[in-house]
Structure 1
């Protein structure tokens, strides 16, 4: 059976999660990507897959669903079309639908990716109403002065990811300045301006096959101080309060979300759960790798099986005694990384630690105020949260990341 996997840049989710899972399922994988050389280099060391030779990589303009359909139609017959990219969910859904294969509803994929569509649809369905406005690409932000914008408000790209160019504005002058700064960096991008939703930030991770949906738990997310929203750490929440889960699932139902993996970010304030964004794919930044390990289930295989048309089991058999957290040391200034810890796997006081660098020594970077500032990721799992927290704090305190101008 052949799986077509749409991708932009290589990710840990694909190289360490989905490709090994596809190999275990006996699938032949064809990667369609606009960056084939990067993928060939990324997969050279995948010994468990036999190296890059076991993964066919074809160049394709994957942002254009018509090109994707043509590339598949003129190659081998597809048994599944899949992507874990935020940017390619609609294209993959349209391609799967064209070939009569299981997949997400392209409308749901579009309305979750497009944050303006998401707000409009939730309001139209009576699920939730958040004040929001859209600033088309190239339009003068001065037009916002005539709108009843509630302050503080949040400005973000309509189809952005990873908190990039998401910023809090306190008044009209601040709002106009922030919009102009983002437009200078992204002249092609439409922006969304919406009311700031107070509350603690959480995630809900779900897996469905249209007939059955499993809630895998979620995370409590710590973000950087405003005006930006960089995710600095995530602590596992094995089970959110049932009323909160019900509220989030009702809003996902209103959006038409229910197939495959979904990573939903929401805030809870005075018992009310309100969506921040819906990422219609598995959670990234190595959280999915941690979940698969902690729950002790073939998570990536389950996700791929749904796209092959196979039903999910009634019970996943996931462990419930695990506790975990992830921390992301961040660069606080621009410069060259001259010293940093190497990758390591340790067990301390019963806590399993996995540290992986995300930036190589010798690389120079600016400060992006997004997850592109991450220097590394520390995954920690155990059975007692205070012990996990203590061991993580000790490990991070003992490390040094040096950046020189």
Structure 2
């Protein structure tokens, strides 16, 4: 099949850890690579944000990234890209007029807008993965939500008119239904993890050295919604334990990062500054060793559309304590691979951590179960199986029902 991936701000070539570079970039990259390895012709369309980028660049497995001129050739916050989507869509229309894809898969709402503009003249079926929904962001961020005001209305329109919505978790299906998107138009295919890269390791020399203390790890983009403040407050209730926070700018730039400064002030106020280490951006190749060096991985956001970090930790055989939100509900098996706790409840986080740190056999059992769960349900091969099935049935014009891959 000829597959067009549309990911307007999340390039599969981007360095991870920035404000707008995270799980969506990983999803697009790994899904595209896996589909290309299966013999599909995959092109990823993403916005050109630097003048020196090549027109086309290869990905492992045979997929290609095509840089689309839409707006200035510079990095812009994703919420500022909305005015440039008509130009993005016009580019897709010209490209698809020359060579029509069998299916277009749009990632994020603005990509869906551009993909529908590009597909209109040629009848290209559009599959939509939102990765995050404006209704959820508005609910949790309120006046701090910087999304364009048109976002929710456009998401609703895309959900009702695209060929298929691919949700990443059951919680998203409920959110879509509340928006008025018929659940019969939705399939659930989760995110995935590279279980060969993220695996149990005996050698953790690539991780920071640790002493006798227990080690907790939190990682991801260094933004307030990730809930690192909750992890720091919980640490004040957990003795003989250190917390490492991985993500954000390179270590030598952390002093200029507002969120890093806020977290450091909080650690001082909570009396745990000597037990909190902000690592900044960590080379992805070192992340498996870092997770293996940790007793537990904490994932404590107030909301999380899916969240790949719990899967990475589980693939490494490291148990997870996560807030009971979004995709965490599907990925973490409470009482089996880790613990789910109510969002925003510091005491509950601390209680769960203390309980697990006090039972070494249970920690080991949870870690082994997490690895098994990932291999059974969350490899990129399993994700590609589900996505590929949806593509093929759409291309053949077969009716789809609400389903979970």
Taking structure 2 as the reference length, the TM-score comes to 0.36
Higher RCO (CA 8 Å, separation ≥ 6 residues): 2
Normalising by structure 1, what TM-score? Answer: 0.36
Structure ranking higher in helix proportion: 2
Q: Normalized per residue, which structure has more strand?
A: 1
